[in-house]
Amino acid sequence: MPVFSSLRRVLQTKTSTLSQVRNSGFSVPGRPSRWMYDRFKDDLHFYALLTGIPVGIAITTINLFYSNGQLSAIPDGYTPKEWEYYPNPITRFITRHFKIGYQELYEVHLHNMWECAKVSEMSQLKNEVKRQMAMKGDYKGWYHRSDMAKYARQRRAMNIETTDSRGDHLIDE
Amino acid sequence: MAASDKDEFPVYTNHPVFGGIATLGYNIFAAPAIWFNKKLEAIRGEPQAFYHRRYPRVPTIDECYRDDVVCRFEANQQFMRDKLVEGQMIDILRQRFNECVFYEKGSGMSAYVPLHEGAPVDVSPGSTHQCRAVLEAFEKANENFFIKYGELGKFPTAEQCYLKQKHRLMWERRHGPVGTGMKTDEPAASQE
């Protein structure tokens, strides 16, 4: 039980009766309370070991009785799953249910890089076109603003809906 | 059982002076752990296979287009892995040389040579000792490692390494093999 303050009496080496002076009728001189310190230690031990003991027992049991990894050659034509790269059963469990493997992260990162490179190339192209148009000043360029397309699409959808419901005042149907 | 244990742990248990102490240490520390492990092996059950990661080869940096970021990234990653692997290879060769010298040098005070005086075995150039071949292999590999990866910094890139090779080839084209000195610039003398 992690109530080590109860062992204090056993471990006490210093007696407070050594430094007695005339003390208004009390034999032991007053001293500050140790209650808060003892209570803190008790709480610390209790709450740490409340989960510490079960988890420690579980980890010890699994490592002693269920952990039997053997390094083997990868069979031909077989791609091991991500958790099959680790020997410890707890690591395998966490990797299988809660983790994304390095291979997937790597390939997703490659795709993100490709996407960002595409966006960057398009931006470079636009800037080059602007530069060319600004150099000569002889081309009537229609500039492209990609953020206006959203509102244009919304407006077009609205137009189609109102025409469907109310009709077009120019077309006689 | 005792004989087979000593076969498993043969280090110095048959030494004339320290054999007893080695056996005592083995019996106190290693034997209980080995017994405990054997008892658990019976309970544990079937071994579960785990594997080491294999990285397939991808095109190197000289086979990538300039604006193919994916190819360049993968070439760079492969380059970093290759650097680690080749560093480990150099370590193995160095260990081999150290072990060869340690095995060949003999024992006693005559074999004790301070580090700055070289190896206690004759590994000078031209020696026919078997450790000389091991040392030559290690030094050649070390030199090649430095040619490829040296002086590129703590975090080199594949592009830096590739261009280092290009600069070396250009330098060799102008001045001859590395180590034979630089040629001075004398266009006037050649025109005359």
**Total beta-carbon pairs less than 8 A apart between chain A and chain B:** 56
ipTM entry: 0.76
The whole-model pTM stands at 0.72
> Considering only CB atoms, which chain B residues are within 8 Å of A120?
none
Q: Under an 8 A CB cutoff, do B50 and A69 touch? A: yes
Min Cα separation A119/chain B (Å): 13
What is the spatial distance between Cα B107 and Cα A86, in angstroms, rounded to a whole number? Answer: 43
E strands, chain B, in order: 48-50
Tokens linked to B91? 């370590």
What is the spatial distance between Cα A104 and Cα B69, in angstroms, rounded to a whole number? Answer: 18
Average pLDDT over chain A reads 87
Q: Who has greater pLDDT, B15 or A42?
A: A42
pLDDT band for A144, please (50, 70, 90 cuts): low
E strands, chain A, in order: 69-71
Q: Under an 8 A CB cutoff, do A70 and B69 touch? A: no
Minimum-distance CB partner of B48 among A69, A74, A117: A69
What is the spatial distance between Cα A69 and Cα A75, in angstroms, rounded to a whole number? Answer: 16
- The reported pLDDT for the residue numbered A102 is 95
DSSP state of B107: S
